[in-house]
Structure 1
């Protein structure tokens, strides 16, 4: 058998073996009470450590007393989760890449030890057992309704494919490099997001440049400059009738989420159609996310909006959509909305009357446009960096699907 993508110089067929033929399983901790955990001279590898890491993070172990009846783990061991609330998390694996003194395995996982450890590279194993091909086998083995479990015996009956160790090492190094690049890009995005928020704070405080100091600002209630209207109810799944109109349901990352929409057959009042420059404002959500908003752009039309969103239609020429969009995303206005929202167990809501009373500050159109231009440049740069991250994710997924069998 051969993978779809290979390094040059490797042309041998990959070896296929049942796990039970090349290794043996062992159990995690047994016979323990809750009072036995959290103290002691020994340690154990936790369930979450396996769940979240292809390679065990040795800093994330918990304490337990030394017990000679338990199995000690060692370098090269592969651990599998046995139980989870979702089938996607059952049979997830993690490899131990270093020796640990007096260390055991948690009771919700089982260990697997290869007989000929010199034939395998730990990095390769960590990705091979999490590759899409092997994960599909685990999904099939997951059994349950409210909670899913996997049989250790069934896992050992599954096959794994692997090349000679020199090719394993090349594959392991490449995927590790991809992960490092992704981590660096994610960190860069986090830092740039903080910078973007800080720039927005100074811009809307009119303190970023000397030209913005001592400018005249107007204070008005939101209801005096925009018309706030409710959304339209309809069948979120229906796509029937002569006129199929997309109904926007959610806002994601400051943009209209076209991946999650509803449908209605017709609209009796043309005023219900969204216009370019309208702002869709989330009126029902968790307290953390209530108030998300996005601008309707020409490429989105024709659209209407659902009942979880308000439509903010600017009724005068004193403020631009882009400026209002940026203003409503400032922390102080987010906090205002949270404090005036009606809290509930799973979500909060704000009504039109409350939102209309929100007092906002804005300068003349010339200053607004200067701020809009700066925000546009910052947003463009951030979008470029986000696209780089998405490209790296797609490349990694391609490699995981094609470098392994």
Structure 2
């Protein structure tokens, strides 16, 4: 069981320095987040930091999108951030249970399954932009193995597959670069 909260909204003059912030782009492009990789910064009061604080294991969903198919992309905070907050363009889900039913590495994938994505699209609204809410997310159901060890094994396996896919996508680019460099330096 999770409760959801909308993120922080501030004027553009407050951005670029200060407290680390989880932004839309961080969530949209990464299934797992690490505090040290966050580039966004925002100038905040201590009260704002406490109100929008990010914890390890928090799950984030993109709240809005140009298209309905890209609404509600998930990402989980995998490290223990210090004084980190989240943007108004994302929703934070936090487990009501301690320590929670889902293992963090498994969270990277369980909210990105075809069944969950289909339900996300169905329960989101579309006007000029696609939009979801904490209320819609609370109504969604996800199936998962109850055993933490099984969740961990699944998460680790899919993470390894992600790394293999990324490495194999880079390999042809590297080979092309090497061949081009070889050709450029071999025939002059």
In structure 2, C-alpha distance between the alignment counterparts of 1:48 and 1:194, rounded to whole Å:
29
User: Which residue in 2 is equivalent to 1:96?
Assistant: 77
Q: Which is worse superposed, 96-105 or 114-123?
A: 114-123
8 Å CA contact 2:71–2:121 kept in 1: the answer is yes
Partners of 1:66 and 1:102 within 8 A in 2: no
Structure with bigger gyration radius: 1
Secondary structure in 1 aligned to 2:143? strand
Q: What corresponds to 1:17 in structure 2?
A: none
Aligned match of 1:64: 42
The 1:138/1:198 distance shift into structure 2, 3 A limit, reads same
Q: Deviations over 1:297-342 (max 9, x none)?
A: xxxxxxxxxxxxxxxxxxxxxxxxxxxxxxxxxxxxxxxxxxxxxx
Alignment partners' CA distance in 1, 2:153 and 2:11: 44
- Tell me how far 1:118 sits from its aligned partner: 4.3
- Offset of 1:199 from its aligned partner? 4.9
Aligned partner of 1:167 in structure 2 is 150
Among 118, 140, 161, the residue aligned to 1:136: 118
Rounded to whole Å, the distance in 1 between the matches of 2:16 and 2:126 is 31
Q: 2:131 aligns with which of 149, 155, 165?
A: 149
Question: Which structure has the higher relative contact order (CA within 8 Å, separation 6+)?
Answer: 2
Aligned to 2:94: 113
**Residue of structure 2 equivalent to 1:34:** 12
**Could you tell me which of 172, 177, 183 is aligned with 1:194?**
177
| Cα distance in 2 between the residues matched to 1:119 and 1:157 | 17
User: 1:103 and 1:202, CA in 2 relative to 1: closer, same or farther beyond 3 A?
Assistant: closer
Q: How much has 1:28 moved relative to structure 2?
A: 0.5
Structure 1 residue 187: Cα displacement? 2.0
Tell me, in whole angstroms, the C-alpha distance in 1 between the residues paired with 2:183 and 2:63: 47
| Structure whose residues are more often helix by fraction | 2
Q: Does 1:24 align with 2:3?
A: yes
Partner of 1:184: 167
Q: Distance in 2 between matches of 1:28 and 1:159?
A: 23
- Match of 1:43, SS state, is strand
Once the two structures are superposed, the pairs formed by residues 223-302 of structure 1 within 5 Å of their partners are none
Extract unaligned runs of 5+ from structure 2.
Answer: none
